[in-house]
Chain A
Amino acid sequence: MPSATRVLIALQPSMYAEVLAFSVGRERPRAEVSIWDPSEGLEEAALRLLPHLVVANRVPKAAGEDWPFFWVEVDELRANEGAKKRLGARISADGYSESVGEVRIEHVLLALDRAEEELISKGPGHVRGADRVLDRGEGAW
């Protein structure tokens, strides 16, 4: 049986990380979900936990050179910006990337499913540069 898909979530506010972790755990019960405080060395956490998917405000892309992972980089919320109506994200999976204007749980689940398919079932060597950003312009997300 293939190993579980590991998901590392490092989002602020932490409330966002907690509800996302709950939803991912509920929708994909086989996934191992970890929450990490983004202020505490996310790159080091990625190298230690070896996630297949990272969901963070700032993804440590350099870590992907040693361990390929897919990622969802969610816009940061800053207190001095006031209420931000939409929460966008950039998503990178299997060498492609896509921007979404309003990130949803389903975007994260889709990236997770792709990570499971590409990184676990086929093995990390199969991936065409998991942390590389390419413009595709298709509506896959």
Chain B
Amino acid sequence: MVVSVVRVHLADDHALFREGLASLLAASEGVEVVGTSPMGEQAAERVALTKPDVIVT
């Protein structure tokens, strides 16, 4: 059986929320947090590198 994992990047300016949401999603089956960053250029750079399936902003 092929188990698909959704690769997620979290982009939010507030570290408290970003870290908390990353922790919550990382505990969810079928979700892999491949990156977190503030909004803006850093997010664009990280997304270009990791090529996530979903970007949460």
A binds B: yes
B31 on the A face (CB < 8 A): no
Chain B residues near A19: list those with CB within 8 A: 17, 20-21, 23-24
Closest chain A residue, CB of each to CB of B26: A26
Contact string against B for A residues 26-65, beta-carbon threshold 8 Å, 1 for contact and 0 otherwise = 1100000000000000000000000000000000000000
The closest CB in chain B to the CB of A55 belongs to B16
Interface status of B13 (Cβ within 8 A of chain A) = yes
User: A2 to B27, alpha carbons, bound, how many Å?
Assistant: 29
* Count of A-B residue pairs with CB < 8 Å: 50
Q: Interface majority SS on B: helix, strand, loop or mixed? A: helix
Chain A: CB-nearest residue to B40: A85
Q: How far is the CB of B33 from chain A (nearest CB, A)?
A: 13
In the complex, the answer to whether A105 meets B14 with C-beta atoms within 8 Å is: no
- Interface size class for chain A? 10 to 19
A74 CA / B17 CA spacing, docked (Å): 12
**Chain B min CB distance to A101 (Å):** 10
Residue of A nearest to B13 (CB): A85
- Interface bits A75-115 vs B (CB < 8 Å: 1, else 0): 00000000111110000000000000011110010000000
Report the interface size for chain B: residues with CB under 8 A from the other chain.
Answer: 13
Minimum C-beta distance from A52 to chain B (A):
20
CB–CB A23/B23 < 8 A? yes
Residues of chain B at the chain A interface (Cβ within 8 Å): 13-17, 19-21, 23-24, 27, 38-39
9 tightest A-B contacts by CB?
A: A19-B20, A87-B14, A23-B20, A23-B23, A105-B19, A104-B15, A22-B24, A19-B21, A103-B16
Q: List 26 A-B contacts (CB under 8 A).
A: A15-B17, A16-B14, A16-B17, A19-B21, A19-B24, A20-B16, A22-B23, A22-B27, A26-B27, A27-B23, A74-B16, A84-B13, A85-B38, A86-B14, A87-B13, A87-B14, A87-B16, A103-B16, A104-B15, A104-B16, A104-B19, A105-B15, A105-B16, A105-B19, A105-B20, A105-B23
